[in-house]
Amino acid sequence: MGDFKYLMDRSEKELVGVHATVAEKARELIKKAYDEGIGIAITQGFRSFAEQNALYAIGRTVKGTKVTNAKGGQSIHNYGLAVDFCIFDDKKQPQWTVNKDWKRVCAIAESMGFEIGLKWRFVDPPHLQMTFGLTLSQLQAGKRPPTSAKVEVKPVSNVVKALQESYEDRPIVPYPNKVIKLGARGKDVERIQRAVGLTEKQVDGIFGKQTEQKVKEYQKKHKLAVDGKVGSNTWNMMF
Ligand SMILES: [Zn+2]
């Protein structure tokens, strides 16, 4: 875990434009995590519509791998009500593996009133938000929470167990921006093979009939469209 001042300073830059209550809770979360020996910092806060549109363009009209499915106005970040965090090691390097510590931070965040992306159907583990009862469409229509808006706080013990039971440790791997299907080969296929539960002996990086069958079972289990191909929805559910 990096030093506390570094984590706070790094976060503070990102908290510009974030709702006062959300920013305050984010600072409190950094402190609480640090007290438990987990160094985290906020890596994203407010994003303007223009910034969001620029992100949306990546992998679409601009070269690169898609980073978001939200256009300007479609992300809670655009209203200053969301932050993303990441764990930092001693060398101040971000660590993106969703492990026990990561889940612990999410549990603390949830107890503090944050809604956590780790629990979403399309998981977004770094994401934390507080909308104070407002929906995205209400925000899009111009409604805003009062600057003094408060959130309900729950005991952390109530949420920790459920979280730790429902999520296995896994790295976040961005979608390679191409559908991976029968005949594909390589590292991404190996990742998929592990995610669908093939044994290490069976992991060979070749997307064959057995992998396809396993992907179908995985899709069925997670209520995704069952086609045996790994597109962005299946990928994002896996990673
Ligand atoms: Zn986010």
In a domain, 205, yes or no: yes
Q: State phi, psi for 32 to the nearest 5 degrees.
A: -60, -45
164, amino acid identity: Q
In a domain, 222, yes or no: yes
Whole-number pLDDT of residue 238: 83
Give Cα 82 to chain centroid, integer Å.
12
* 137, 113: one domain: yes
Q: How far is the CA of 81 from the centre of ligand 1 (A)?
A: 10
Q: How far is the CA of 13 from the centre of ligand 1 (A)?
A: 16
Q: How far is the CA of 203 from the centre of ligand 1 (A)?
A: 32
Residue-wise pLDDT tens digits, 31-65: 999 999 999 999 999 999 998 898 888 889 988 88
Whole-number pLDDT of residue 149: 87
In a domain, 117, yes or no: yes
In a domain, 228, yes or no: yes
30, amino acid identity: I
Q: How far is the CA of 51 from the centre of ligand 1 (A)?
A: 13
Range of the domain at 24: 4-45+80-171
Q: How many domains does the chain fold into?
A: 2
Q: How far is the CA of 85 from the centre of ligand 1 (A)?
A: 8
Whole-number pLDDT of residue 171: 53
86 forms bridges with which residues in the sheet? Answer: 41
* 104, 9: one domain: yes
Whole-number pLDDT of residue 7: 95
* 26, 125: one domain: yes
In a domain, 90, yes or no: yes
CATH of the domain at 127: 3.30.1380.10
Q: State the Cα–Cα distance between residues 37 and 149, nearest whole angstrom.
A: 30
Whole-number pLDDT of residue 114: 95
Mean pLDDT of the 143-147 span? 92
In a domain, 8, yes or no: yes
Whether the per-residue pLDDT at 159 is higher than 90: the answer is no
Whole-number pLDDT of residue 154: 72
Q: How far is the CA of 116 from the centre of ligand 1 (A)?
A: 9
Residue predicted with more confidence, 172 or 87: 87
DSSP SS3 for 115: strand
**Which of 112, 146, 171 lies at the terminal end of a domain, its last residue?**
171
Q: Dihedral of CA 152/156/160/162: which sign? A: negative
Whole-number pLDDT of residue 233: 84
Q: State the Cα–Cα distance between residues 103 and 152, nearest whole angstrom.
A: 20
**Per-position DSSP letters for 187-217, written without gaps between them:** HHHHHHHHHTT--TTT--SB--HHHHHHHHH
In a domain, 63, yes or no: no
Q: How far is the CA of 78 from the centre of ligand 1 (A)?
A: 10
* 221, 160: one domain: no
Residue-wise pLDDT tens digits, 71-116: 999 999 999 999 999 999 989 999 988 899 999 999 999 999 999 9
Q: How far is the CA of 11 from the centre of ligand 1 (A)?
A: 14
Q: How far is the CA of 27 from the centre of ligand 1 (A)?
A: 16
Strands (E), the chain: 40-44, 82-88, 94-95, 97-98, 115-116, 127-129, 170-171
Whole-number pLDDT of residue 83: 97
Q: How far is the CA of 185 from the centre of ligand 1 (A)?
A: 31
Mean pLDDT of the 109-134 span? 91
Q: How far is the CA of 178 from the centre of ligand 1 (A)?
A: 23
Q: How far is the CA of 107 from the centre of ligand 1 (A)?
A: 16
**pTM higher than 0.95:** no
